[in-house]
Amino acid sequence: MRRASLLAVLVTAGLGLSLQAASARQQQQVYRIPVTGDIQNGLAPYVARALKEAQEAGADAAFLDIDTPGGRIDAAERISDAVRAAEIPVYAFVNPRAYSAGAMIALSTKGIYMKPGAVLGAATPVDGKGTKAPEKYVSAMRAEFRALAEQHGLDPRVAEKMVDESIDLPGIAPAGQLLTLSTNEALNLKYAKAEVADEAALLEAIGMKGAEVTEVSPNWAEKLVGFLTSPVVSPLLLSLGLLGLIFEIKAGAFGIGGLVSLASLGLFFGSSFLLGLAGWEVVLLLGLGALALALELFVLPGFGVAGVLGILSFTAAIVLALAGTTPSWNDVGQALAILGASLTISAAVFFAWIRHLPNSPRFRQLLLTEGHAAAEGYISAPTRMDLVGKEGVAVTDLRPSGTAVLGEERLDVVTEGEFIRQGTQVRVVRSEGYRHVVRAVA
């Protein structure tokens, strides 16, 4: 009897656990993916990862919580591709605005749900100055929006009107007026499925009332890459890279300037590679630029074709890394603006450094702070007539100045204008204070 009672208790307990597990499995799971602020390059890998996590977790659906003024078109295209390739339903919650690139992302989803007073549209591409891009880019964007509308059974003319104000839609928006839909207008045109006040209303509208909501946030790596590629940080990295390179060239040896330059440019180009903005063409341009500048510095005298080619190659690599693989007119304009800002910052810092140098205590220790006229009997250094005619070896390239070893002395020397390679035998022809003029020994 006791055994029967114990068996009944165990069966009841097991049945209770099974019912609880079944109840837990029956609770639907929805992933929330915030898409807020400017659409930048760092946002695309984050959305793609979040959707992949949702699929692997067996989620029933996901929704993009959108509040954006727009941003980069290439980043929006990558997000759109990830949404359309998702194996679970993905919805858009316009909360409360989806302009430009945000409208493209919203149209890529299975259905758009809008908050009261929300807006959707205003997607015409613009350049870096905010003016409308050429027809080539407008046509491409118009086709993107038309294709998205057709895919979801919506009126494609409405989507095109969000991009091109020249389209005439009688009763909706006349020619010359870019289309931006309010919540009520989007509902009337069937571009929005329903008006929802909050997340709970959205879940009920998509048939998942009471579902467990899991929010996915950007991880540290995505935040870091997004930070490094932002329009504020990119010019600073470029400026540090350029300034380090300038100081390194002036120093004539590898030191702190070189380390700063390598670190800054490494972060700049490395973050672009991680986001897929830079391809092998950027690597090729960087290699050609480095080779050309190395030839200019260590092989060819003066500054000529190799130096110009090196600078042009580096400039092209920077612009491509900033603009991305399929840049729009706005992306190219933004890349040129960032490059211009970097050059301006570098020039300003270098100019300030040159201006401050004479007032630096360390610099003043090396120079006389007061002038002494030659008429008063002062000379900068005694004339070394004992050096005239003496021969030695150039231990650096003379361009025209450099260093030579004469006997057991190591002296700063200068040529009469010609370039003399390192290791060449030289002879002192004049000694004028600190200025020792040499020629190559024939």
What's the pLDDT tens digit per position in 92-111? 999 999 999 999 999 999 99
Instruction: Give the pLDDT of residue 103.
Output: 96
Find all residues with CB under 8 Å of 74, minimum gap 6, and list them.
41, 324, 325, 326, 327, 328, 331
For the chain, how big is the Rg over CA atoms in Å?
Answer: 34
Surface-to-core class of residue 323, CB atoms within 10 Å of its CB (0-12 exposed, 13-18 middle, 19+ buried): buried
Whether the pLDDT of residue 405 is over 50: the answer is: yes
Instruction: Give the pLDDT of residue 137.
Output: 81
Name which of 21-25, 144-148, 151-155, 253-257 the model is least confident about. 21-25
Instruction: pLDDT band for 417, please (50, 70, 90 cuts).
Output: confident
Mean pLDDT of 138-154: 93
Pairwise CA distance, residues 263 & 241, whole Å? 8
Total residue length of the chain: 442
Instruction: pLDDT band for 407, please (50, 70, 90 cuts).
Output: confident
SS3 label, residue 333: helix
Instruction: pLDDT band for 7, please (50, 70, 90 cuts).
Output: very low
Instruction: pLDDT band for 87, please (50, 70, 90 cuts).
Output: very high
Whether the pLDDT of residue 408 is over 70: the answer is: yes
pLDDT in tens, 349-404: 767 766 665 555 544 444 444 444 555 544 555 667 778 888 899 988 888 888 89
Instruction: pLDDT band for 324, please (50, 70, 90 cuts).
Output: low
Cα diameter, the chain: 129
Would you give the DSSP letter of residue 57? Answer: T
Measured CA to CA in angstroms, residue 13 lies from 17, 27, 152, 182, 331 at distances of 6, 22, 49, 55, 63
Instruction: Give the pLDDT of residue 21.
Output: 42
Residue with tokens 């996915």: 216
Question: Which token pair is 284?
Answer: 């090729």
Instruction: pLDDT band for 5, please (50, 70, 90 cuts).
Output: low
> Which percentage of the chain shows pLDDT scores above 70?
74
What residue type is 112 in one-letter code?
I
Q: Which residue has the higher pLDDT, 76 or 359?
A: 76
Q: Which run of H or E residues covers position 182?
A: strand 180-182
| Residue 435 φ then ψ, to 5° | -100, 115
Instruction: Give the pLDDT of residue 441.
Output: 86
Strands (E), 100-140: 111-114, 119-121
Q: Which run of H or E residues covers position 78?
A: helix 73-85
Name which of 80-94, 220-234, 325-339, 417-431 the model is least confident about. 325-339
pLDDT in tens, 121-139: 999 887 656 678 788 888 9
Whether the pLDDT of residue 431 is over 60: the answer is: yes
Instruction: Give the pLDDT of residue 130.
Output: 65
Name which of 189-203, 316-330, 408-422 the model is least confident about. 316-330
Nearest alpha-carbon partner for 215 in 32, 348, 30, 399: 32
pTM: 0.63
Instruction: Give the pLDDT of residue 385.
Output: 79
The sign of the torsion formed by the CA atoms of 231, 233, 234, 240 equals positive
Instruction: Give the pLDDT of residue 382.
Output: 64
Instruction: Give the pLDDT of residue 15.
Output: 45
SS3 label, residue 410: strand
Whether the pLDDT of residue 70 is over 80: the answer is: yes
Mean pLDDT of 88-93: 97
Measured CA to CA in angstroms, residue 169 lies from 55, 173, 183, 351 at distances of 40, 5, 18, 56
pLDDT in tens, 150-199: 999 999 999 999 999 999 999 899 998 999 999 999 999 999 999 999 99
Instruction: pLDDT band for 204, please (50, 70, 90 cuts).
Output: very high
Three-state secondary structure readout of 263-311 = HHHHHHHHHHHHCCCCCHHHHHHHHHHHHHHHHHHHCCCCCCHHHHHHH
Find out whether 277 and 247 touch, Cβ atoms under 8 Å.
Answer: no
Q: Which residue has the higher pLDDT, 336 or 111?
A: 111
Instruction: Give the pLDDT of residue 369.
Output: 46
Question: Which token pair is 409?
Answer: 């002395």
Find out whether 7 and 39 touch, Cβ atoms under 8 Å.
Answer: no
pLDDT in tens, 238-266: 778 777 766 765 555 556 766 877 787 77
What mean pLDDT, rounded, does the chain reach?
Answer: 79
What residue type is 132 in one-letter code?
K
